[in-house]
């Protein structure tokens, strides 16, 4: 399978998982979930919930160990997130002079899916729509994120890079 086809399939699987969890099963949240694929095509699915940056760092270390032990050559990751617009003149690596998305009153709630190999990556996102009872009622593709690469700097995009 070509890398681009593999990444697209991993994104499709991530979306299917999110839709099944949030829409079909009507769960209140989507745990951060990984699908790891090794060179033999064997898959391993794992959730790594976290509450804060310390637990997120522990999840990063745990997933790196799991990838090394399994010989992961491709993976996908799907989670709920808040996103917000950054100032137009801000670039990654510069100091943040604006609120984190979780503290931004104009934030949006989305599902983000990443699919990565050592050399390529894909990313897609879907806006979460809620009904009048604040229940998740739908997911709509969010075109504000590019689909050919991770549009943000994150350890989640770089786990297989040497």
Q: What is the mean pLDDT of residues 127-135?
A: 94
How far apart CA 14 and CA 123 sit, in angstroms, is 11
Q: Is 72 part of any domain?
A: yes
Q: Is 18 part of any domain?
A: yes
CB 43 within 8 A of CB 35: yes
Residues spanned by the domain of 20: 3-85+100-157
Q: How confident is the model at residue 102 (pLDDT cuts 50, 70, 90)?
A: confident
Q: What is the mean pLDDT of the chain?
A: 90
Asked if residue 71 has pLDDT above 90, the reply is: yes
Q: Is 15 part of any domain?
A: yes
Q: What DSSP assignment string belongs to 111-161?
A: EEEEEE-SS-EEEEEEEEEE-TTS-EEEEEE-TTS-SSS-SS--GGG-TT-
Q: Is 162 part of any domain?
A: no
How far apart CA 41 and CA 43 sit, in angstroms, is 6
Q: What is the pLDDT of residues 5-30, one digit of tens each?
A: 999 999 999 999 999 999 999 999 99
Q: Is 133 part of any domain?
A: yes
Percent of the chain with pLDDT over 70: 94
Q: Is 92 part of any domain?
A: no
Q: What is the mean pLDDT of residues 107-115?
A: 94
Which pLDDT value is given to residue 145? 67
Sign of the C-alpha dihedral computed for residues 94, 54, 111 and 45 taken in this order: positive
Q: Is 93 part of any domain?
A: no
Domains of the chain: total: 1
Q: How confident is the model at residue 152 (pLDDT cuts 50, 70, 90)?
A: low
Q: Is 24 part of any domain?
A: yes
């Amino acid at each position: 399978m070509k890398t681009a086809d593999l990444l697209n399939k991993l994104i499709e699987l991530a979306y299917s998982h999110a839709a099944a969890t949030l829409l079909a099963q009507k769960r209140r949240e989507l745990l951060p979930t990984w699908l790891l694929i090794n060179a033999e095509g064997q898959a391993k699915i794992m959730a790594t919930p976290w509450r804060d940056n310390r637990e997120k760092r522990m999840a990063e270390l745990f997933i790196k160990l799991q990838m090394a032990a399994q010989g992961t050559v491709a993976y996908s990751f799907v989670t709920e997130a808040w996103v917000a617009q950054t100032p137009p003149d801000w670039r990654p690596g510069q100091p943040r002079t604006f609120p984190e998305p979780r503290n931004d009153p104009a934030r949006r709630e989305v599902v983000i899916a990443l699919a990565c190999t050592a050399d390529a990556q894909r990313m897609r996102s879907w806006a979460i729509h809620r009904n009048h009872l604040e229940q998740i009622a739908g997911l709509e593709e969010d075109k504000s994120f590019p689909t050919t690469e991770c549009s943000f700097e994150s350890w989640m995009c770089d786990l297989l890079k040497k």
